[in-house]
Each structure stands twice: as structure tokens, then as C-alpha cells.
Amino acid sequence: MTNDNRTFEARLDKLAEVAVRVGLGAVKGQEVVMTAPLDAVPLARRITHHAYKAGATIVTILYTDDATTLERFATASDESFDKATAWLYDGMAAAFRSGAARLAIVGENPSLLAGQDPAKVARANRARSAAYRPALDLIARSAINWTIVSAATPAWARTVFPDLPEAEAVARLWDAIFAASRVDAADPIEGWAEHNRALAVRTGILNEKRYAALRFTGPGTDLEVGLCDGHRWAGGAGKAENGITYNANIPTEEVFTTPHRARVNGHVAATKPLSYQGTLIQDIRVRFEGGAIVEAHASSGEDVLRKVLEIDEGSCRLGEVALVPHASPISLSGLLFYNTLYDENAASHIALGQAYAKTVEGGGEMTPEQQIAAGINASLIHIDWMIGSGEVDVDGVRQDGSVEPVMRKGAWV
């Protein structure tokens, strides 16, 4: 529900305050490195205000522009697509190592690259992923406080509300973002504290269960996801290595942990389309054997999906499994957002690729080789992908092989 008594500017300002005070948690004495689409300038400016107000030393905004991305695909020579701006990503990694916090505003056009050559898209993604790896590693292991928040851009809004005039679509999408991000509460900061407490109760229960595996069953799905020995469930606020408590996603509804990279078997059908780097991949159906995807289909974007699976040894294995009740506020909106930050918080999901080592006991201190041996997956990519719905059940498989219900028809048991 939106609160019509507040102006758009006031709600945008609250979202910015939540992004800084809840998302980043604290930025006193830190640089903030922000990325944002050009259409998100007003939100980026309000976030800048709240970051400086909270004691940030310098806020840097790196804007991305769909028009110049398309210009590259339309005009650049072939060699362009194996290149990436290593100097910029290395610079970001250097910023993180020297203590900077990281804030991403997302709101991409979900099908920006739909008309482009899938081979070029895959090459550009691969080059970018490789160049971004050092920075992503620091984020994946929570070396610093980081957060992702959304802005309603015209292209994204048109995808979510294809039948509405653009201005109305953008306004409706902002309403959905403000509601999901809990900024319409009388005291959004306290509202988030309460939400984080509820998620902590849920992770506490799951951590006591110590399941060996989760089993997902539903239309087109019968999948057993083995969990790492010593896995820990996380959700809501977490603590970064720099000691700062932060929320990595605004909004967030999920609790998640680390699957074992070699213990996933069965088949699964995605319950929502996946928007990956400007390509919409629809009706994904895959089969796992010994942790790896051995068969993959999609009704559109199958080329891009196959290229993703071939990126490296870990890109066809799981790095995350997350549970989200079908009654989450985002799910109840009934909207399909074509945006991972939203859709992943509307449904239980799995993620291909890089795992979060912190959700395994001692995982953060392991060498890369030790992580692999412990079943913690490694990859250039991390792609969330929805498999939950009101028709999907989840069971917990105990260490002794016995089974108990965890979710029924998408609701916590």
C-alpha cells in the first residue's frame, strides 16, 4: 500500500535513507562507491545526501547508460566483445580493499540486449565477469558493507506494466518499490529492525535443523539440493568483515545458505523468467547430476543460457539456495518484475555460480582449494533463478535420511 499523504520526493528521500542506514548500515569515515543507471539520478543524489550526512568521506557515482551499451553492440568492432574495463573494476576492488562501501542502484531494461547476437553478448559478459572478479570476491565474502536497491526506470517500468502509458508505469513501479522496501511505514528504520528480527528467528530454526539436503517438488520439479556440511542459514542483516552490520538487498525476504557443489540431483523448472545482462531467458528446465547441470532448455534465450553454463567449471553448479514464502509482500503484489532483486524475493530460488563462503562454518578462512573440497562452489558468475511458487513444496532431509516438511504450497510449515 502506498501512502498518498507523502510526496514522491519524500518517499524517494526515505528510500535513500533506508539504502544508507539499513542497506549500508554505517558509512562513517568510509568512501561510498555507487553504480546507477542514468535514469536514477534523483535517487543517486538523495543517497549521496544521506551518505554524507552519515559521515561518508567521498561518494562516487559511476553511471551506466543503456544507450551507450546498445551503441557498443551496434557499432563497435568485433574485438570489443572480448574486452572489459579492467582498470575500472580493479579500481573498485582497490577502493573496497581500502575500506569503501559499495552501493548499487539497479533498474536495468530486462531485455536491453534481446536483439543482439547471443555470441557477442556471451563474450562481453564473460570478459566483464572475469575483470570484475577481484571486486566481486570482496563482496561475495562480505569484506565490506554493501547493498543493492532499485530505481524505477522507464524501460523497466514498461516491461512490468506493458499496457500502461510510460509515466503511469513508472509511477506504479515506484509505488511497488517503496512498498517492498518498507519506506511507507511511519518509521522505516524501526520497521526494518523488526523485519530483520523476524528473519533471524527463521534462520535460527533452520540452523538448528542442520538438514543434509532440501527437496523441492512441484510441477516439472523434483530436485534434491544437498547442503554443505557446516552450512549456516543467513537472511536480513549480516555482519561484514569490517564489523559493520548491513542489509545486502533492499528489499529482502529470503533466507539462504550454501548448497554442496557436487550434491545436487534431479530436475527443476524455473517458475519465473530470468533477466540476465539484458537477455530474458524464459521457461528454463534443467537436469542436475552430481551437482552439475547436464541438460538445459529454455523457450527463449536458450543460447545465452548455454553460454552461461559454459563460462567456467562452476557456472553449471549451484552457489546458493534460498527460501522465500509465497506470501512475501513482493509475491503478493502479483507482479512479475523481470528483475532479480525483486523476483528473487518473491519466490524460493537457487543461484548458479559463485557461493557465499560465509554461510559455511569457517568458509571465509579457507583457501580456494579448501572451499572447493568443502563443496563451496566457485565461478565468475552468480545468477539467481526462481524455482518456488504456490505450487512448490520443500522438504528437509535430515542427516539420517528421514524427511520433514519445510514449506507446503510455498508457505512455511
Site residues (vs its own copies, CB under 8 A): 28-29, 31, 38, 41, 44-45, 48-49, 52-53, 55-63, 65, 67-68, 71-72, 74-77, 79-80, 83-88, 90-92, 94-95, 98, 100
CB of 298 to its own copies, least distance (A): 29
Output 37 or 226, the one with its CB closest to its own copies: 37
What are the residues facing 157 on neighbouring strands?
none
Output 79 or 163, the one with its CB closest to its own copies: 79
> Taking the mean position of all CA atoms in its chain, how far away is CA 315?
16
**Cell numbers given for 239:** 555482519
At 35, the amino acid letter reads T
Of residues 132, 139, 245, the one with CA closest to residue 196: 245
Q: Which residues contact 323 (CB under 8 A, 6 or more apart)?
A: 206, 214, 254, 255, 256, 348, 388, 394, 406, 407
Output 62 or 193, the one with its CB closest to its own copies: 62
Output 113 or 270, the one with its CB closest to its own copies: 113
Output 34 or 324, the one with its CB closest to its own copies: 34
Output 128 or 172, the one with its CB closest to its own copies: 128
Residue 375: how many CB atoms within 10 A of its CB?
Answer: 24
CB of 155 to its own copies, least distance (A): 16
The number of C-alpha atoms within 13 Å of 378 and in the hemisphere containing its C-beta is 16
Evaluate whether 284 touches 269 at the Cβ level (below 8 Å): yes
User: Does residue 360 sit in helix, strand or coil?
Assistant: strand
To which residue does cell 546507477 refer?
Answer: 36
Output 127 or 173, the one with its CB closest to its own copies: 127
CB of 78 to its own copies, least distance (A): 10
Output 34 or 350, the one with its CB closest to its own copies: 34
Of residues 342, 391, 386, the one with CA closest to residue 176: 342
User: Does residue 177 sit in helix, strand or coil?
Assistant: helix
Q: How far apart are the first and last CA of the chain?
A: 27
Of residues 332, 346, 176, the one with CA closest to residue 270: 346
CB of 72 to its own copies, least distance (A): 6
CB of 287 to its own copies, least distance (A): 37
What is the distance between the alpha carbons of residues 259 and 213, in angstroms, rounded to a whole number? Answer: 8
CB of 85 to its own copies, least distance (A): 5
CB of 133 to its own copies, least distance (A): 16
CB of 131 to its own copies, least distance (A): 10
**Cell numbers given for 123:** 563474450
> Taking the mean position of all CA atoms in its chain, how far away is CA 217?
23
Output 99 or 118, the one with its CB closest to its own copies: 99
CB of 98 to its own copies, least distance (A): 7
**251 preceded by cis ω (within 30°)?**
yes
